[in-house]
Amino acid sequence: MLITRASEYAILSLILLCKAKSPMDSDTLSRELSISKSFLAKILQSLAKAEILNSYKGVNGGFALKKDPKDIDMLWVTSAVEGKVPAVFECAPSLEDCPSDKASTCSIWPFLHKLQGKIDLFLANLTLADLLND
Amino acid sequence: MLITRASEYAILSLILLCKAKSPMDSDTLSRELSISKSFLAKILQSLAKAEILNSYKGVNGGFALKKDPKDIDMLWVTSAVEGKVPAVFECAPSLEDCPSDKASTCSIWPFLHKLQGKIDLFLANLTLADLLND
DNA sequence: CGAATCTAAAGCCATAATAGCCTCCTGATG
DNA sequence: CATCAGGAGGCTATTATGGCTTTAGATTCG
């Protein structure tokens, strides 16, 4: 969980960038999507750092997909934008870090772990191409 | 998207309530889960309003599942707690409400609609029983 | 029955995180 | 070197999270 608007905006941007074959600048994207320009700029920068987008400075610069749409999955996108894999619960990824002394006998950790696995699998199997095709 | 901690806490509570066969009060649940008592109380009230939980006042009162775990799906839970179906984007559920004059020719709506459908389907097909079994 | 007690329900207020705004800096282009 | 667009940081507004208090319904006991 913990999926915020940043992930939404990232996906929307990727859809537009996928259709536009030349780089689009953040200003154009924010106008097209009616999204806060500065917030979107940070999101695009995150996507660039994650190697999902290429960024180009200067005249006619902007952002463009760095990968094929079929190679861009939503887990990657949300992780890049949220700064981490959207975690169901802080303790879910690793039992070792559990602050509780009940770590080894935690009654809900197995279920959280399962839920997290299902969410991750869903996001990982959903690519940008899946959203564009069919 | 727009899935917050409230949904997490709701799921955690349901898992515990599923295992405890007599009603648990919000105070006990908040201690078991190390969650803010007052915030959890509001979440439990939402789940009660959505007919997912029964609530009992007075001595030995608390909350208990109203339905069978296999009949409680995550779309229902998140909708109840977030106050609405977690929407990818405001315009996604209905094209009619689109504030843009490009409604009928919106270049991303079809993709948003598809994404929303996939998320809804995933959540709707994931029941509390699924998290407890296997 | 009536009082005391238990717990949900509902409101208001404080804090923390997210979303959005603005300005300056950096690198690229012509 | 003038201009364009990304990079980075600080600041504000909005929303989410959490705390606290009061009210209301249910139970127990005398």
Helix axes B26-33, B5-19, angle to 10 degrees: 110
- Shortest distance, CA B122 to any CA of chain A (angstroms): 8
Chain A CB within 8 Å of residue B107 CB:
yes
Q: Is the pLDDT of residue A84 over 90?
A: no
Chain A CB within 8 Å of residue B50 CB:
no
Q: Which residues touch strand C (CB under 7 A)?
A: A 2, 4-6, 9, 35-39, 41-42, 56-59, 61; B 2, 25-27, 38, 41-42, 44-45, 48-49, 55-63
What mean pLDDT comes out for the span A39-63? Answer: 96
Give the pLDDT confidence score for residue A112 in this predicted structure: 84
Give the pLDDT confidence score for residue A92 in this predicted structure: 47
Contacts of A77 (CB under 8 A, 6+ apart): A7, A10, A11, A14, A47, A52, A128
What mean pLDDT comes out for the span A101-126? Answer: 81
Give the pLDDT confidence score for residue A109 in this predicted structure: 80
Give the pLDDT confidence score for residue A108 in this predicted structure: 82
Are B118 and A126 an interchain contact pair (Cβ–Cβ within 8 Å)?
yes
Q: Is the pLDDT of residue A93 over 50?
A: no
Give the pLDDT confidence score for residue A3 in this predicted structure: 87
Per-residue tokens: A1: 């969980």
Return the minimum-mean-pLDDT range out of A32-41, A60-69, B25-34, B108-117: B108-117
Q: Is the pLDDT of residue A63 over 70?
A: yes
CATH number, position B35: 1.10.10.10
| Total-model pTM | 0.88
Q: Is the pLDDT of residue A119 over 70?
A: yes
CB-nearest to B107 from A5, A19, A130 is A19
Domain region containing B88: 5-132
Are A16 and B107 an interchain contact pair (Cβ–Cβ within 8 Å)?
yes
Q: Is the pLDDT of residue A24 over 60?
A: yes
Mean pLDDT of the residues in chain A: 86
Structural domains in chain A (count):
1
Q: Is the pLDDT of residue A57 over 90?
A: yes
Q: Is the pLDDT of residue A13 over 70?
A: yes
Give the pLDDT confidence score for residue B110 in this predicted structure: 82
Answer for the pair A8, A43: CB distance below 8 angstroms, yes or no.
no
Beta pairing class for A62-65 and A53-56:
antiparallel
Instruction: Spell out, as residue ranges, where chain B has pLDDT lower than 50.
Output: 92-95, 101-103
Residue with token string 């908040």: B30
Give the pLDDT confidence score for residue B41 in this predicted structure: 97
Give the pLDDT confidence score for residue B39 in this predicted structure: 96
Q: How confident is the model at residue A95 (pLDDT cuts 50, 70, 90)?
A: very low
Residue A53: strand pairing partners: A65
Tell me the CA–C1' distance in angstroms for A82 and C17. Answer: 13
| Strand C nucleotides in reach of protein CB atoms, 7 A cut-off | 5-11, 18-23, 26-30
User: Which one of A40, A106, A115 would you mutate to disrupt binding with B, by most B Cβ within 10 Å of its Cβ?
Assistant: A115
Q: Which residue of A has its CA nearest to B111?
A: A131
Read out DSSP for chain B?
Answer: --B-HHHHHHHHHHHHHHH--S-B-HHHHHHHHT--HHHHHHHHHHHHHTTSEEEE-STT-EEEESS-GGG-BHHHHHHHHHSS---SSTTSS-GGG--STTGGG-SSHHHHHHHHHHHHHHHHH-BHHHHH--
